[in-house]
Amino acid sequence: MQIDDTRTEPLLAFLGPTELWIVLGALVFLFGAKKLPEMARAMGSSVTQFKKGLDSPDEEPAKKIESAPGSEGDPQS
């Protein structure tokens, strides 16, 4: 018995319209119809922010971990 490791089709190629309707129905059942557009918007903005972060890696983050409250050497803790 041989295992074929040369499969090149993407995993989503095996999902047909019936499977997609089942997944959509499960999402509506779990989260509700009003929550799905909010989740899609949040996911879209997250992807946009991620892509912006990849395009401009030269910028420094606003706060560094060393200067966070509660870190060693912080007189407030």
* CA angle (9, 14, 16) in 5-degree steps: 140
**Could you tell me the pLDDT band of residue 53, with boundaries at 50, 70 and 90?**
confident
- In this predicted structure, the answer to whether residue 56 has a pLDDT above a threshold of 90 is no
70: CB partners within 8 A, 6+ apart = 76, 77
Residue 44 is predicted with a pLDDT of 94
Convert the pLDDT of each residue in 7-33 to its tens digit: 666 666 677 889 989 998 998 999 898
DSSP-assigned letter for residue 68: S
Q: How far apart are CA 60 and CA 53, in angstroms?
A: 11
Structure tokens at 51: 């892509």
Where do the structural domains in the chain lie, given as residue ranges?
Answer: 19-45
